[in-house]
Amino acid sequence: GQLLNRHQFLHGLRLLVTAGGTEEPIDPVRFITNGSSGKMGYAVAERAHQMGADVTLISGHANIPVPSGIKVIKVQTTEDMGHAVLDQYPKADALVMSAALADFEPVHMADQKIKKGPSSHHMILKLKRTPDVLKRVAKIKKSGQLTIGFAAETQNLIDNATHKLKAKKLDLIVANDVSNPKIGFGGDNNQVTFIDRNGHQQKTPVESKLKVADQLLKIIAKLKG
């Protein structure tokens, strides 16, 4: 009855979530990555599933057991994540892009482990830009589909996040101040500001990532009408 309805308010929503950090191999035993734990994206996937959504999770590195009932696609690099997202997005009503993608990848991956040699005091690693997945998603987005991005910033949070909202043609951006060690990367708590296309802002208190996920999903349900 009413209780079921209230808890299943995302019933029928096909939600695509990305989470975790991507890894760009340097050689067979080394890679470039970042400190993303994956907790925020996994929280969104888990709560959305509990609320009745049909959830597909595309995950980079994250040391978290996958909640049952969720389809998971594991990927390593930003390029792999890009392929998986572009493949799944046409079947989704909404995308929540919480993964932390590597912005650069080595120009060449060495076939063999790189040896430091007897006299090398420095090493230069040449990197090139990875594709911007959300900009590619913008090109295939159909009316009625929602795209939600995250912005990880250490300064000018609102300005930088608003710029990304527009540049990536998002419906909503979740602005995350990652300079504060008590919130964001790694921890169980977060504090974010949701910014929509009309410039409307909503700042959450410091609270668990599950609670932040609930608020995000409530906004998604509202945007879906």
Where do contacts with Ca ion occur on this chain (CB under 5 A)? 103
Q: For ligand CTP, which is the closer residue by CB, 149 or 184?
A: 149
The yes or no reply on residue 79 touching ligand CTP (CB under 6 A) is no
Using CB under 6 A, which of 39, 47, 141, 164 touches ligand CTP? Answer: 164
Is 198 in contact with 172 (CB distance < 8 Å)? no
Query: Which phi and psi (to 5°) does residue 89 adopt?
Result: -55, -40
Please give the structure tokens belonging to residue 169: 């043609």
Which residue, judged by CB position, is nearest to Ca ion in the bound state? 103
150 is in an annotated binding site: yes
- CA separation for the pair 47, 30 (Å, rounded): 34
From the candidates 34, 160, 180, 189, which is the catalytic residue?
Answer: 34
The yes or no reply on residue 61 touching ligand CTP (CB under 6 A) is no
Is 76 in contact with 23 (CB distance < 8 Å)? yes
The yes or no reply on residue 26 touching ligand CTP (CB under 6 A) is no
Beta pairing partners, 153? 177
Q: Which does 37 bind (CB under 5 to 8 A by kind): Ca ion, ligand CTP, none?
A: none
Active-site residue 34, yes or no?
A: yes
Give the three-class secondary structure for 27: strand
The yes or no reply on residue 84 touching ligand CTP (CB under 6 A) is no
- CA separation for the pair 118, 102 (Å, rounded): 31
Interface residues toward ligand CTP, by CB under 6 A: 78, 97, 99, 101, 103, 130-134, 149-152, 164
